[in-house]
């Protein structure tokens, strides 16, 4: 059942990604003012969407882990953080690639860019915490706490960064958003692309989750074996 | 209440006898201000903007080092375990540790403000009184954040590295608001004109004090 779901997600995600790629390069009309670079938008937005959903999932899993104390929530949260980090990195990279020809700079301290960068740093910290410690229940609780606190921090970050930028406006604070898509073909391409990335990310999440579940089971087995060994020696 | 004062008084007494944290924090704040003056050059550091920025850099880094040090000190001789198994509930433990951290940071900040006035050629006047509530809000928020995160990173392999990596991005909203509000009052603006920034600081403090109080139980638990 689980394997069928994973395979289905992988297959449909790959097929839709190919379709999205075709639409981005062959079907959708070139945007009038920005030209060909605007096409990166159809990858940029889905990546941002996946990153934000993943980070929300990290916090939700953290709450469930602390509440129910079931390892499965920790594994899912860890997998979500890793997937989120990949897509958050892609958001920053695709954004930079687009910004160089359009804004004339790789980076500006625009409120959305700054917020995304801080999110990236927050969840980078989360992953470093996991990388620098053993797989114990205690570390799982630490990670859950960091995930929850980071998510609580996000609204304050958004408000403070926006206020910081509106008081000192950057050269370009407005950027083209979803509402700037006049052509229905642009909307269609964006929607297909978002669907493709969502399936693809869900597939990655399932794969990573399955790996982490296996690791958990191995850890449990190893602990069990060690305990058996100890009690056997005690009897001798 | 008895538990709270017992743990807090223990930390204060320890500090009064050794003076380690406070001296280290004051020294570090001084060094950070000096480094910033050199790094930014004479022109770069003039005016309230530079002074406020330097003050908050000192607060963040001295605070991070102080919190890590306080935690490592508790780790020695199993003190932390003793605290955890004492009949003080975890939330109270968090409150006491947070207050101790805030008091040490406040002492360091008093020194840092005095040094900032000297180094940045400001005046000792009413404007400095107006910076007090802003710094107090920043210190409370950072102390809460640092106490929670020090407990989180304390028993990992690289506690002293992990602590700033986790704390600094989380502190960003308070840092932005604190620098802007401090620069505002140093430039002579009244506090009433800086309500938006003060609001962010208050919201940050509420979030981290409440979540630290509620979640400390989870991080201080031992299996």
Strands (E) across B91-160 are located at none
Q: Is residue A122 part of a domain?
A: yes
For an interface test with A, which of B141, B165, B171, B196 has the most A Cβ atoms less than 10 Å from its Cβ?
Answer: B165
CA dist A228 and B205 (Å) reads 49
CB contact under 8 A, A133 and B219: no
Phi, psi dihedral angles at A31 (to 5 degrees): -65, 140
For an interface test with A, which of B84, B153, B166, B203 has the most A Cβ atoms less than 10 Å from its Cβ?
Answer: B166
Closest Cβ opposite residue A137 in set B158, B203, B223: B223
Number of structural domains (chain A) is 1
Chain B residues with CB inside 8 Å of A126's CB? Answer: 166
Q: Is residue A22 part of a domain?
A: yes
Closest Cβ opposite residue A145 in set B152, B157, B180: B152
CA-nearest residue to A164 within chain B is B176
Q: Cβ(B183)–Cβ(B49) under 8 Å?
A: yes
Q: Is residue A176 part of a domain?
A: no
Phi, psi dihedral angles at A130 (to 5 degrees): -70, -40
What residue numbers bound the domain in which A202 lies? 2-26+35-170+184-231
Chain A residues with CB inside 8 Å of B149's CB? Answer: 146
Tokens of A122: 């927050």
Mean pLDDT value across residues A179-183? 64
Nearest alpha-carbon partner for A86 in A123, A40, A39, A37: A123
Min Cα distance A144 → chain B (Å) is 9
For an interface test with A, which of B91, B137, B152 has the most A Cβ atoms less than 10 Å from its Cβ?
Answer: B152
CA-nearest residue to B221 within chain A is A138
Nearest alpha-carbon partner for B60 in B156, B172, B186: B172
Q: Which residues pair with A35 in a beta bridge?
A: A31
What pLDDT score was predicted for residue A88? 94
Number of structural domains (chain B) is 1
- Which range scores top for mean pLDDT: A108-117, A216-225, B122-131? A216-225
- Measured CA to CA in angstroms, residue A178 lies from A35, A89, A91, A110 at distances of 17, 21, 16, 18
- With b for 16 or more beta-carbon neighbours within 10 A and e for fewer, the B12-39 pattern comes to bebbeeeeebbebbbebbbebbeebbee
Q: What is the DSSP letter of A40?
A: G
Tokens of B206: 């509420």
Task: Look at the block and give the residue holding tokens 């950057």.
Answer: A170
Q: Is residue A55 part of a domain?
A: yes
pLDDT band per the 50, 70, 90 thresholds, residue A178: very low
Q: What is the average pLDDT score of chain A?
A: 86
CB contact under 8 A, B169 and A133: no
Mean pLDDT value across residues A200-206? 92
What residue numbers bound the domain in which B146 lies? 2-220
Q: Could you report the predicted ipTM of this complex, rounded to two decimals?
A: 0.85
Cβ neighbours around A175 below 10 Å, total: 16
Q: Cβ(A200)–Cβ(A43) under 8 Å?
A: no
Q: Which residues pair with A31 in a beta bridge?
A: A35
CB contact under 8 A, A141 and B221: yes
CB contact under 8 A, A125 and B169: yes
Q: Name the strand (E) or helix (H) holding A169.
A: none
CA dist B181 and B199 (Å) reads 10
Q: Is residue A236 part of a domain?
A: no
Give helix B159-186 / helix B195-220 axis angle, nearest 10°. 160
What pLDDT score was predicted for residue A202? 92
CA dist A144 and A17 (Å) reads 32
SS3 string, A175-230, reads CCCHHHCCCHHHHHHHHHHHHHHHHHHHHHHHHHHHHHHHHHHHHHHHHHHHHHHH
Q: Is residue A164 part of a domain?
A: yes
What pLDDT score was predicted for residue B34? 87
List the pLDDT tens digit at each of the 223 positions of chain B. 778 888 888 888 888 887 777 888 888 888 988 888 888 776 656 678 888 888 999 999 888 887 777 777 776 666 777 777 777 888 888 888 889 889 888 888 888 888 888 888 777 787 788 889 999 999 999 999 998 888 887 777 777 788 889 999 999 999 999 999 999 888 888 888 888 899 999 999 999 999 998 888 888 776 6
Min Cα distance A25 → chain B (Å) is 38
């Amino acid at each position: 059942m689980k394997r069928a779901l994973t395979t289905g997600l992988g297959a449909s995600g790959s097929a839709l990604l190919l379709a999205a790629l075709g639409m981005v390069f062959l079907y959708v009309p070139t945007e009038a003012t920005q030209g060909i670079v605007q096409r990166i938008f159809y990858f940029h937005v889905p990546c941002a969407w996946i990153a934000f959903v993943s980070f929300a999932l990290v916090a939700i899993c953290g709450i469930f882990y602390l509440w129910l104390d079931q390892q499965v929530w920790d594994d899912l949260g860890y997998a979500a953080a890793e997937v989120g980090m990949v897509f958050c990195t892609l958001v920053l990279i695709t954004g930079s690639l687009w910004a160089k020809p359009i804004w004339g700079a790789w980076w500006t301290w625009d409120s959305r860019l700054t917020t995304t960068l801080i999110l990236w740093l927050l969840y980078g910290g989360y992953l470093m915490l996991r990388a620098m410690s053993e797989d114990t229940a205690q570390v799982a609780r630490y990670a859950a706490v960091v995930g929850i606190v980071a998510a609580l921090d996000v609204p304050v970050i958004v408000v403070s960064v926006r206020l910081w930028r509106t008081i000192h406006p950057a050269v370009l604070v407005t950027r083209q958003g979803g509402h700037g898509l006049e052509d229905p073909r642009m909307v269609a391409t964006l929607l297909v692309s978002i669907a493709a990335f969502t399936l693809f990310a869900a597939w990655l999440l399932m794969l990573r989750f399955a790996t982490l579940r296996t690791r958990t089971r191995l850890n449990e087995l190893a602990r069990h074996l060690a305990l058996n060994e100890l009690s056997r020696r005690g009897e001798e | 209440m008895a538990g709270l004062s017992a743990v807090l008084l223990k930390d204060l007494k320890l500090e009064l006898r050794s003076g380690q944290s406070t001296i280290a924090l004051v020294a570090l704040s001084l060094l950070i201000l000096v480094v910033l003056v050199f790094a930014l050059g004479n022109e770069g550091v003039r005016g309230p903007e530079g002074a406020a920025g330097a003050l908050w850099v000192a607060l963040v880094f001295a605070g991070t080092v102080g919190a890590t040090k306080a935690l490592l000190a508790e780790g020695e001789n199993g003190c932390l375990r003793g605290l955890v198994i004492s009949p003080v509930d975890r939330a109270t433990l968090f409150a006491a540790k947070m207050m101790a951290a805030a008091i040490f940071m406040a002492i360091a900040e008093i020194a840092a403000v005095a040094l900032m006035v000297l180094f940045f050629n400001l005046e000792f006047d009413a404007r400095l009184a107006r910076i007090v509530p802003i710094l107090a809000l920043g210190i409370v928020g950072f102390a809460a954040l640092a106490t929670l995160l020090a407990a989180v990173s304390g028993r990992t392999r690289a506690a002293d590295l992990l602590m700033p990596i986790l704390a600094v991005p989380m502190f960003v909203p308070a840092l932005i608001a604190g620098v802007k509000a401090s620069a505002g009052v140093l430039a002579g603006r009244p506090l009433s004109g800086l309500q938006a920034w003060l609001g962010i600081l208050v919201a940050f403090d509420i979030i981290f004090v409440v979540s630290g109080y509620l979640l400390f139980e989870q991080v201080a638990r031992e299996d």
